[in-house]
Amino acid sequence: MNRVVITGAGCVSALGPDLATTWAGMRDGRSGIGQLEGLPLERLRITIGAQVRGFDPATHFAEKKLAQYDRFTQFALVAAREAVKQSGIALSGELARGCAVIVGTGIGGQTTQDEGFQRLYGEKADRLAPMTVPRAMPSAATSHVSMEFGLRGPSFGVTSACASSNHAIAIAFDMVRLGRAPAALAGGAEAPMTLGGLKSWEALRVMSPDGCRPFCRDRRGMVLGEGAGMFLLEPLESALGRGARPLAELVGAGMSADAGDLVAPSVDGCAAAITAALADAGLAPEQIGYINAHGTATPANDPAETKAVRKAFGRHAERLAISSTKAVHGHALGAAGAIELVAVLGVLTEDVLPPTAGFTEADPECDLDYVPNQARKVAVEAALSNSFAFGGLNCVLALKRIDS
């Protein structure tokens, strides 16, 4: 099987419009969470979020194209462009004919749906915009990324709630590893910041009114986020052959289903995905030095994830560094794993562990090393990225330093 490396990465998040700014915000613990803009705050109980602020679609896309793009598709395209540019790959000929495109999203075109419902029910309109369905469909981002670069290989969307982008990257990893695609553009995108979306999350009573504090005793829930992360995956041999500089090697993926509760996480299910990722990667637990946690700051998730790490790693759990960057970029749902993979790449390329920002007092049930408040200069050989979704759908990615 091929060894698979990431040679390009792109990101749009509440921390910034690109990869470098997003990683710098994670590393420095700079929060992108603030009061929501462009929404009727008087109708909301939760008025904070991690929005992509100052994003002007007109600076990225021709006017005639914008009618086709929901906000989540716009984010995916901008991130994909950055990933392809950084990789330096020439997407043409046989490579373009076989290159895969797989984009995860939990919701898809939420903005388009909300605008349509407002016209239909609020304004009593008899007609909706002709492109409503193509804009809103969860696979829209995949289609537009494939068209943007002329890629004709296996292309589809993936939806598994908050694990969507990790699942998308895991499937792309397998395709490149097994030779079913010569390369892949994979990641996730989400844009849920609409009145309807926010009111739906309010109804679940899992959102915090005053910030995101993963693993802390006084945590009050998640903060909704948005954005996209996209990555260029290719065989190591191909990358080195064209003189590319890989960012990291993808070495394993573990997937599991809790087959239990729709919203309550399962320790066993989460641990199974971690263990499967280690086995797929051929890594001993002691080789992992860092985990980017799912870490949503909800009452149920953080203790369950802590117990799952202990179950999967045994005594080595005490020596692991773990952080949740959701404290600064929010929970971007189906794009969460893709944005958080940026943190793992930063760890493996810069030997810096991003902190769990805004950490207050530890919860006794969350008793591991969560890198509180300050980045830590440490070189690690390998790292994991955890995504555990509603519906008990779990996916963990394993990556290694390219020089290890």
Antiparallel, parallel or unpaired: β 248-257 and 288-292? unpaired
212 an active-site residue?
Answer: no
Q: Which of 11, 99, 162, 212 is catalytic?
A: 162
- C-alpha separations of 117 from 195, 200, 201 in Å: 11, 14, 18
Rounded Cα distance between 313 and 275, Å, is: 8
Marked catalytic residue, from 270, 331, 366, 395: 331
Would you call 294 a catalytic residue per the annotation? yes
Question: Which of 168, 187, 150 minimizes the C-alpha distance to 8?
Answer: 187
Say which residues have a Cβ less than 8 Å from residue 320's Cβ, sequence separation at least 6. Answer: 288, 289, 290, 291, 309, 313, 368, 369
Q: Is 162 an active-site residue?
A: yes
- Please give the full DSSP string across 73-118, using - where no structure is assigned: HHHHHHHHHHHHHHHT----HHHHHH-EEEEE-SS--HHHHHHHHI
Contact 385, 340 (CB under 8 A): yes
In one-letter notation, the amino acid at residue 298 is: T
First to last CA, the chain: 19
Catalytic residue, candidates 270, 294, 329, 395 = 294
Q: Which two tokens stand for residue 273?
A: 């995905």
Residues with active-site annotation: 162, 294, 331
